[in-house]
């Protein structure tokens, strides 16, 4: 009975070993069969023992025509061109690469052959990887095209920079913002009304100042009117002025309004979407007639101003909802400029942060700097408050940080990347690994959303080969 028990245990162990071996064989076969490289394996006698599907497609030779057949016979039958990588490896015992052609398909390939040695140091197998030359040529051509496009793109950016007038204190590094400023520079040369669009805090007012500063009205006033900050009851007298004794508390002397102060200059209507329909009608009349009446007055005052409006609201949607006059919208929207949010101008984040840091260092007599981790954190914030939020975060960090190095924990922001929260910050993960894991995450996200290496690489402004090389290396290192 004890003997039977031992036999059963041995049988179970053998079955487990066989199952494990079969599993490994299935994995190895699946890997080779689904490889994009054409794979051909020969035994020590240079007889083909395995080819995968990619090799059949490349050569046009069916599997049953090759397996069990010496490579020399395939050459003799004209199925592959003369010259055997296996023979070269047999003589040198070193890997080699040759170019071989396949008459049935008319295709050529780089054939890389490596020896596989047994325990006695004898060659047991020859493992050949064949890579289609046409595909390599196509990749090389694509790489050249990408390089040409990159060089053209860089030249265009340099041209944009050279053509831009002085941007004053503005920090502009990202190509998206460079294009905005190029459009603003062109608009500055004419006198047409401009509508500047963008989220709160993106820097719409800076774009407006840039347009005025580079216009023919630069020597005249730029008067800013915050349409959301002036109560409607006071709006008309503040904007258009009033005559003496026009209303209780008006005083005996006439008072010029903001429009009159801006004569021959520029009026900046900030947050124009906040205007009531009543005030919109009065503003429209001024824009159409280029004249206005002071409150309590009866003499029209002629006006020569340029109008630039800005808003963070969707005016077209407000027009559809009858909350903004359509005729005023079209009067203001002769030329529109959209200022992108900071999350769409990644190349502006660190230069802006450095600019604000230098400004506050100078203001408070300090010499603080960002650590690599702080710079990384700044880059991976969503910046819902845009440039204004970035400026506030930097000032707060400068004031509250002990010592001269600003670290991530000194920045009052939330980084939404999964790699930076929860378990991602646990353990002893260094900055290099953290950066690589986030890079892999973004490569995978772009690949999933775009559906192909080529489209994902184009979105990330890199060549497909660089994208694939980075993705493969990081996937092998971290998985996923």
329 three-class SS: helix
What's the DSSP call for residue 272? G
Residue found under tokens 């942060």: 353
281 and 305 in a single domain? The answer is yes
Q: How far apart are CA 151 and CA 310, in angstroms?
A: 35
Q: How far apart are CA 442 and CA 97, in angstroms?
A: 36
Q: How far apart are CA 326 and CA 320, in angstroms?
A: 8
Single out the residue in 118, 134, 150 at which a domain terminates: 134
Longest Cα–Cα distance of the chain, Å, equals: 123
Average pLDDT over residues 291-312: 89
- pLDDT-based confidence at 398, cuts 50/70/90? very high
- pLDDT-based confidence at 53, cuts 50/70/90? confident
Count CB-CB contacts under 10 A for residue 29.
12
Of 152, 204, 209, which Cα lies nearest the Cα of 177? 204
pLDDT tens by residue, 217-265: 999 999 999 998 888 888 888 888 888 766 666 666 778 889 989 999 9
- Into how many domains does the chain fold? 4
pTM of the model: 0.56
Looking at the domain assignment, is residue 446 inside a domain? yes
Looking at the domain assignment, is residue 66 inside a domain? yes
Looking at the domain assignment, is residue 328 inside a domain? yes
CATH of the domain at 368: 1.10.8.60
178 and 64 in a single domain? The answer is no
Backbone phi and psi for residue 267, each to the nearest 5 degrees, phi listed first: -105, 125
Looking at the domain assignment, is residue 147 inside a domain? no
Residue 400 has pLDDT above 70, yes or no: yes
Single out the residue in 340, 366, 392 at which a domain terminates: 340
Single out the residue in 115, 134, 153 at which a domain terminates: 134
- The encoded tokens of residue 459 equal 């979105």
CATH of the domain at 192: 3.40.50.300
168 and 315 in a single domain? The answer is yes
Q: Which of 114-128, 315-329, 425-439 has the lowest mean pLDDT?
A: 425-439
Owning domain of residue 41: 35-134
207 and 329 in a single domain? The answer is yes
Q: Are the CB atoms for 281 and 321 separated by under 8 Å?
A: no
Of 444, 409, 379, which Cα lies nearest the Cα of 173? 379
How does the average pLDDT of the chain come out, rounded?
A: 83
126 and 223 in a single domain? The answer is no
240 and 214 in a single domain? The answer is yes
181 and 328 in a single domain? The answer is yes
Q: How far apart are CA 242 and CA 97, in angstroms?
A: 90
pLDDT tens by residue, 264-280: 999 999 999 999 999 99
Looking at the domain assignment, is residue 71 inside a domain? yes
| pLDDT given at position 423 | 39
Residue found under tokens 């050249």: 144
pLDDT tens by residue, 441-452: 777 777 766 777
Backbone phi and psi for residue 113, each to the nearest 5 degrees, phi listed first: -115, 135
Beta strands, E only, 146-256: 194-197, 222-226, 241-242, 255-256
Looking at the domain assignment, is residue 313 inside a domain? yes
Q: How far apart are CA 260 and CA 366, in angstroms?
A: 44
Q: Which of 93-97, 226-230, 305-309, 466-470 has the lowest mean pLDDT?
A: 466-470
Average pLDDT over residues 299-327: 94
61 and 20 in a single domain? The answer is no
270 DSSP β-pair partners? 226
287 and 365 in a single domain? The answer is no
pLDDT tens by residue, 330-367: 999 999 999 999 988 888 898 999 999 999 999 999 99
Percent of the chain with pLDDT over 70: 81
126 and 270 in a single domain? The answer is no
pLDDT tens by residue, 57-91: 888 888 888 888 888 888 888 888 887 788 888 88
| pLDDT given at position 418 | 42
Looking at the domain assignment, is residue 153 inside a domain? no
370 and 435 in a single domain? The answer is yes
Looking at the domain assignment, is residue 327 inside a domain? yes
191 and 276 in a single domain? The answer is yes
């Amino acid at each position: 009975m004890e003997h039977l028990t031992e036999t059963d245990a041995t049988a179970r162990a053998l079955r487990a070993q066989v199952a494990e071996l079969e599993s490994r064989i299935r994995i190895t076969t699946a890997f080779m069969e689904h490889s994009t490289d054409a794979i051909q394996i020969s035994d020590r006698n240079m007889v083909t023992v395995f080819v995968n599907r990619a090799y059949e497609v490349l050569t046009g030779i069916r599997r049953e025509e090759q397996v069990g057949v010496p490579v020399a016979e395939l050459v003799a039958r004209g199925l592959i061109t003369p010259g055997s990588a296996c023979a070269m490896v047999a003589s040198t015992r070193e890997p080699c690469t040759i170019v071989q052609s396949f008459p049935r398909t008319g295709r050529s390939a780089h054939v890389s052959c490596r020896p596989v040695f047994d325990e006695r140091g004898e060659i047991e197998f020859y493992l050949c990887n064949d890579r289609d030359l046409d595909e390599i040529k196509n990749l090389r051509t694509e790489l050249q095209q990408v390089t040409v496009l990159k060089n053209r793109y860089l030249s265009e950016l340099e041209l944009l920079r050279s053509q831009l007038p002085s941007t004053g204190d503005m920090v502009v590094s990202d190509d998206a913002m460079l294009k905005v400023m190029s459009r603003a520079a062109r608009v500055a040369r004419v006198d047409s009304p401009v509508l500047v669009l963008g989220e709160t805090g993106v820097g719409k007012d800076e774009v407006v100042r840039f347009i005025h500063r580079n216009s023919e009205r630069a020597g005249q006033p730029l008067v800013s009117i915050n349409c959301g900050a002036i109560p409607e009851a006071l709006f008309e007298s503040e904007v258009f002025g009033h005559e003496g004794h026009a209303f209780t508390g008006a005083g005996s002397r006439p008072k010029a309004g903001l429009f009159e102060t801006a004569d021959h200059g520029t009026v900046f209507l900030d947050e124009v979407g906040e205007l009531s329909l009543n005030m919109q009608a009065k503003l429209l009349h001024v824009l159409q007639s280029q004249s206005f009446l002071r409150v309590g007055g009866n003499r029209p005052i002629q006006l020569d101003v340029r109008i630039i409006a800005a808003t963070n609201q969707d005016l077209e949607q407000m027009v559809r909802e009858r909350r903004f006059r359509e005729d005023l919208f079209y009067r203001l929207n002769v030329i529109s400029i959209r200022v992108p949010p900071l999350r769409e101008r990644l190349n502006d984040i660190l230069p802006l942060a450095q600019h604000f840091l230098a400004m506050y260092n100078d203001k408070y007599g300090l010499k603080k700097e960002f650590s690599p981790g702080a710079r990384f954190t700044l880059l991976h914030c969503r910046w819902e408050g845009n440039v204004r939020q970035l400026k506030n975060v930097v000032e707060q960090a400068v004031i509250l940080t002990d010592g001269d190095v600003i670290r991530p924990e000194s920045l009052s922001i939330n980084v939404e990347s999964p790699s930076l929260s929860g378990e991602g910050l646990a353990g002893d993960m260094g900055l290099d690994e953290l950066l690589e894991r986030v890079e892999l995450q973004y490569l995978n996200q772009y690949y999933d959303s775009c559906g192909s290496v080529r489209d994902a690489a184009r979105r990330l402004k890199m060549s497909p080969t660089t994208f694939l090389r980075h993705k493969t290396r990081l996937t092998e290192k971290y998985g996923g």
